[in-house]
Amino acid sequence: MALNPQAQTPGGSVQFIGGLARRLVADRLLSEEQARDLQAKALRSNMPIVSVIVEGRSVPALKLAEAASQEFGVPLIDLGSVSLDPVLLAEVGDKLLRKSHALPLFKRGRRLFLAVSDPTNLQALDEIKFATGLTTEAILVEEDKLAKAIETAASQVESASLNFGSEEELANLEVLDTDADPGDVTKSDADDAPIVKFVNKIMVDAINQGASDIHFEPYEKIFRIRYRKDGEMRIVASPPQQLAVRIAARVKVMSRLDLAERRVPQDGRIKLQVSRNKAIDFRVSTCPTLWGEKIVCRILDPTQAKLGIDALGYEEHQRSHYVSALEKPQGMILVTGPTGSGKTVSLYTGLNILNTEDVNISTAEDPAEINLPGINQVNVNPRVGLTFASALKAFLRQDPDVIMVGEIRDLETAEIAIKAAQTGHLVLSTLHTNDAPQTIVRLMNMGVPAYNLASTLTLIIAQRLARKLCPVCKKPADIPRPELLKEGFTAAEVDAPGFKLYRAVGCDQCDRGYKGRTGVYEVMPFSEAMGRIIMEGGSAMEIADQARKEGVSDLRTSALLKVRNGVIDLLEANRVTVAD
């Protein structure tokens, strides 16, 4: 059939057959007359021609998608084979999902890939790009499947934003006037039954889902609640923005904070009885922001400290070094890493090993995160003069065997901790540095003399937390050999029989292919050779070289070992460590 791209309409004007319609005519899926009629209908109704074609069932959805893929050079996938990410759906929102008629599939770096049935729908790509701040790219799917998936996804997002009770409870939530003075909110407002049920549900759900933090975040026009789970943030609810003040007030009442004070940060604590035999503590922090108080609740589960050292992910030689250092009667053990890397759990696990009736243990923390019976825990309070340094001085008069300092922040604290370690006490503490060798340089930059470090340090542990692959659904990953060598694997490792890496897939037993987290560690015993290096004014690089000579695996090497053992994937290894 010869395609005539233009023809006279009854009125005498020329009507062109262009774009997708021309492709469908060329593929003999439409006649020229049908194509013109559909184009005219799409123009009159201000609808995409794809929707008009599907609505009239003029062309099967799959054939239409295949033709569009060829015409516009956009990849085509089966939407049924993709697991949608609820976090991405929530970021776009139910209204924009329906309006744009596009569905977020997955994110790679700063690129967001969207399922569309009409690749000429550039407005949808721009709207979602503006809403998310990500670069958007189109992927073609069948229109009928897309329409159903969008409606399902939008309904789920909509219900997630209202997941704090029954319809009756929602109806009873009294919305405050937008211009009302927050100072008008009283304790009775915070004790309002629907608000109480909502906050309780958010906290219980966070515990059940294994979240580590809850974030209550007010903005100018929205209010969102996010969980941090396995190190990643995700939206779990978007209550009406007008309820932000009441929800904040309820959390402050629970944590015994000053309800009227909204100008300065406050710290508090909540103890929630989740069952007859189990209570969970929350560490609460408030911070005044432009649109109200942001509140973060850190979930403190005491069972985490009792999991045992074997559950933390140490390799056998690393575990042996840690246990050996804990068995020494004196010296200093330092755990280092960024916030949220599991330092507290590592320290408390060590304290739990040492916690016997014949050992006197005292800790100074800001604040005490996990309550361990048998250990004397002190919350530092600089406002009344109870600092880490003053607490340490008091401990030394309390006949201690083991002292734990939450964090070494200044020279005075470092000097007292070192003095304690030199006079027959085992001292454990944390520091914020990137790796073990830099910890020594950081202490020297604080002003700690090199000879004190050389005679005191026993062990330094640097650590990160990486998401573990789901053992049920993980699949082998096909990665080219040059890329593996570039990532840090040796040729001998790559060429060894049985060498196999895995990737995340996703199933009903996990969260997008991941389940739980494990530690990635650099465990560096402090040797005499390292002591000589720092006494001679050596750098962190020289200490790192000496550590490698002594068989210490750095963070990258430890991460690649876990990749090789199928515990984590290469993406996680790259997220928590840096390739050389």
Tell me which amino acid residue 412 is: E
* Distance (Å, whole) CA 425 – CA 325: 12
- 187, pLDDT greater than 70: no
- 9, pLDDT greater than 80: no
Global confidence as pTM: 0.63
Q: What is the mean pLDDT of residues 170-181?
A: 36
Interhelix angle for 244-254 vs 193-208, to 10°? 70
* Distance (Å, whole) CA 54 – CA 524: 64
Identify the CA nearest to 318 among candidates 295, 335, 341.
Answer: 335
Q: In 161-290, which ranges are continuous DSSP H helix? A: 167-172, 187-190, 193-208, 244-254
In 51-168, the DSSP E strands lie at 103-108, 111-116, 135-140
SS3 string, 86-98, reads HHHHHHHCHHHHH
Q: What is the mean pLDDT of residues 168-194?
A: 45
* Distance (Å, whole) CA 212 – CA 208: 11
CB-side exposure of 194: number of CA atoms within 13 Å? 17
Interhelix angle for 19-26 vs 32-45, to 10°? 160
Identify the CA nearest to 479 among candidates 572, 571, 567, 559.
Answer: 571
Asked whether the beta carbons of 165 and 133 are under 8 A apart, the reply is no
Of the pLDDT bands very low, low, confident and very high (cuts 50, 70, 90), residue 24 is: confident
Whole-Å CA distances, 292 to 138, 172, 185, 249, 252? 37, 23, 13, 11, 13
- 52, pLDDT greater than 80: no
Q: What is the pLDDT of residue 579?
A: 59
pLDDT tens per residue, range 153-168:
887 776 554 444 443 4
- Which range is most confident: 51-55, 328-332, 512-516? 328-332
Collect all residues with Cβ–Cβ distance below 8 Å to 552 and sequence separation of at least 6.
436, 522, 523, 524, 525
Identify the CA nearest to 432 among candidates 456, 415, 408.
Answer: 408
pLDDT tens per residue, range 422-452:
988 999 999 988 899 999 999 999 999 999 9
Q: Which of 9-23, 26-40, 359-373 has the lowest mean pLDDT?
A: 9-23
The pLDDT mean for the chain works out to 83
Asked whether the beta carbons of 475 and 484 are under 8 A apart, the reply is no
- 262, pLDDT greater than 50: yes
Collect all residues with Cβ–Cβ distance below 8 Å to 218 and sequence separation of at least 6.
241, 244, 248, 289, 291, 292, 293, 294
SS3 string, 423-479, reads CCCEEEEEECCCCHHHHHHHHHHHCCCHHHHHHHEEEEEEEEEEEEECCCCCEECCC
- 87, pLDDT greater than 50: yes
pLDDT tens per residue, range 206-224:
888 888 899 999 998 889 9
Q: Which of 39-48, 249-258, 278-287, 559-568 has the lowest mean pLDDT?
A: 39-48
Q: What is the pLDDT of residue 568?
A: 94
Of the pLDDT bands very low, low, confident and very high (cuts 50, 70, 90), residue 192 is: low
In three-state secondary structure terms, 126 is: helix
Collect all residues with Cβ–Cβ distance below 8 Å to 103 and sequence separation of at least 6.
79, 84, 97, 114, 115, 116, 141, 146, 149, 150, 153
- 387, pLDDT greater than 50: yes
The owner of tokens 């904070």 is: 257
Residue 19 backbone class (left: φ over 0; alpha: ψ -120 to 50; beta: rest): left
In three-state secondary structure terms, 529 is: helix
Chain-centre distance of CA 97, in angstroms? Answer: 24
Report the relative pairing of strands 402-405 and 426-431 from DSSP bridges.
parallel
Chain-centre distance of CA 15, in angstroms? Answer: 54
- Give me the DSSP letters along 162-177: T-SS-HHHHHH-PPPP
* Distance (Å, whole) CA 430 – CA 419: 17
Indicate the helix (H) or strand (E) that contains 378.
strand 376-379
Collect all residues with Cβ–Cβ distance below 8 Å to 45 and sequence separation of at least 6.
52
* Distance (Å, whole) CA 258 – CA 263: 11
Between CA 91 and CA 101, with CA 97 as vertex, the angle to 5 degrees is 145
Q: What is the mean pLDDT of residues 475-497?
A: 90
